[in-house]
Amino acid sequence: MGRFAVITMTEKAADRVREIVATRENAHGIRLGIKKGGCAGMEYTVDLVTEPNTKDDHIERDGAHVYVAPEAALFLFGTEMDFEQTTLRTGFTFRNPNQSSACGCGESVELKPADLKALAEARTSA
């Protein structure tokens, strides 16, 4: 029985991660986390990884490596990471089932921990 992947990433997100890594010396991937901040209470963080942390969850898609900070994992379970480029915004987006609200500008979110019991039940019925 395998583990749940904390997050999934779209092809566009994987492409962008590979582009970032290709232009930075010693980069291995990016690290996702959360921090307190903004008007809704929490913000996503995206940082360059030059030395992977063995405690991080590791997700790989087509050579794109994303690491998830352990303290963020419960808040990010089930999240789909995407990348969008529009006239008004360019950046990673997160479709997170644990997000209960967001501020008007979209820069901060309110997150609740994932329901691990529901995840386990969904997995056994699949």
Per-residue confidence (pLDDT) for residue 4, from 0 to 100: 64
Per-residue confidence (pLDDT) for residue 1, from 0 to 100: 38
% residues pLDDT > 70 (the chain): 73
List, as one string, the DSSP characters of 63-80.
TEEEEE-GGGHHHHTTEE
Which whole number is the average pLDDT over 82-105?
A: 81
Domains in the chain, ordered, with CATH?
7-125 (2.60.300.12)
Per-residue confidence (pLDDT) for residue 45, from 0 to 100: 92
For 40-87, how does the pLDDT look when each residue is reduced to its tens digit (9 = 90+)? Answer: 577 889 999 999 999 999 999 999 999 999 999 888 888 999 999 989
Per-residue confidence (pLDDT) for residue 43, from 0 to 100: 84
Beta strands in the chain (DSSP E): 7-9, 29-37, 41-49, 57-61, 64-68, 79-85, 90-95, 99-102, 109-111
Closest Cα to residue 95, out of 3, 22, 13?
13
Nearest-angstrom CA–CA distance, 66 and 106: 22
**CB proximity list for 8: less than 8 A, separation 6 or greater:** 59, 61, 79, 80, 81
Please tell me which residue, 103 or 18, carries the higher pLDDT value.
18
Per-residue confidence (pLDDT) for residue 46, from 0 to 100: 94
Read off the pTM.
Answer: 0.81
How far, in Å, are 57, 117, 124 from residue 40 at the CA level? Answer: 26, 26, 34
